[in-house]
Amino acid sequence: MVIPDVLVIGEILVELSSTEPLDAGTNLTLNFSGDALNSAAAAAAAGAHTALLARVPDDELGDRLLERVVALGIDTSQVRRVNGQHGLYLQHADPSGDREFTYVRRGSAGSGLGPGDVPLDLVARAGAVLASGIACAISPLSAKAVRVAASNSRCFVFDPNWRPRLVDAAGAAEHLRGLAKYTRLVTPAWPGEAQLVSDSDDPSAVSSAIRELGVRAVALTRGAEGVLLDDAGRIIEVPAITAPMVVDQTGAGDSFAGTVTARLALGDELVDAVRLGVAAASLSVGGVGGTGHVATLEETRAHAANGAAEVSA
């Protein structure tokens, strides 16, 4: 059994996207995405041996899905092929990032992932485990799988990735609180996800409140304002990096979380991992869909260096 640097847990979705508003007669492009796949692709691109723990329908579309996962450099040895239907979403590529996706996923095969699917020995030996609030929200069974993995991992990273159509604020906050004591790093978006456990308008106060739950470090992602990193009480401002091109913001947060997790698992200091995560997210918005553009590690490092040069100039 090959022990991965990073194990990502979640649901892979069929992605139907268009550069035009969705309507009758709109041409759609089929791809595969979902926050777990987006994060895993970013982690693999960042240099980590990355495995994906998920359930995928055992049909022809599932075959194509796994071919895409392999093409992204992701280990599929922990993917379970099962009977059931695919989850999917439709999206209009939007540079502003203001729209909601249209999901068709209730009762999907992916949402049936449970504690019995979690390989405890592999989880305990993996460099890091990454999961999100979406994996917790799609079903109670999946939420239990995440809890089991978190409690057995040596480095657990949690991206709240709150989707109000899946879970209300109270439920999302409960997931965060329940996982906090196992969590090395949490990556909430400011202000919505960050304020699940505190209504303060001060990012530093909110990050402190999250750490008080038991989380070791918090990386508040704040768009153009960059990332506020609270590493055990040490506050570091990590500037944003201007994207060369903005086509679609889908998956930018996933790219950040996957890249940071990968570099943590490979031994980088947290602040250095966050800087690379910012650069990877900045490059990811240049493609359509969650994995439309996955930058290589070399590209990400060069972009991070250019961003640092701009800040110091």
CB-based contact 39:9 (threshold 8 Å):
no
Q: What is the pLDDT of residue 311?
A: 63
Q: What is the pLDDT of residue 291?
A: 87
CB-based contact 180:209 (threshold 8 Å):
no
Verify cis geometry, omega within 30 degrees of 0, for the bond prior to 191.
yes
Name which of 75, 76, 86, 81 is nearest 32 in CA terms: 86
Number of DSSP helices (H) and strands (E) in the chain, helices first? 10, 13
CB-based contact 134:166 (threshold 8 Å):
yes
Degrees, nearest 5: CA angle 72-74-78: 145
Q: Output the tens digit of pLDDT for each of the chain's 313 residues.
A: 789 999 999 999 998 877 777 777 778 888 899 999 999 999 999 999 999 999 999 999 999 999 999 999 999 999 999 999 999 888 776 666 655 567 778 889 999 999 999 999 999 999 999 999 999 999 999 999 999 999 999 999 999 999 998 999 999 999 999 999 999 999 999 999 989 999 899 999 999 999 999 999 999 999 999 999 999 999 999 999 999 988 878 889 999 999 999 999 999 999 999 999 999 999 999 887 788 889 999 999 999 998 776 665 5
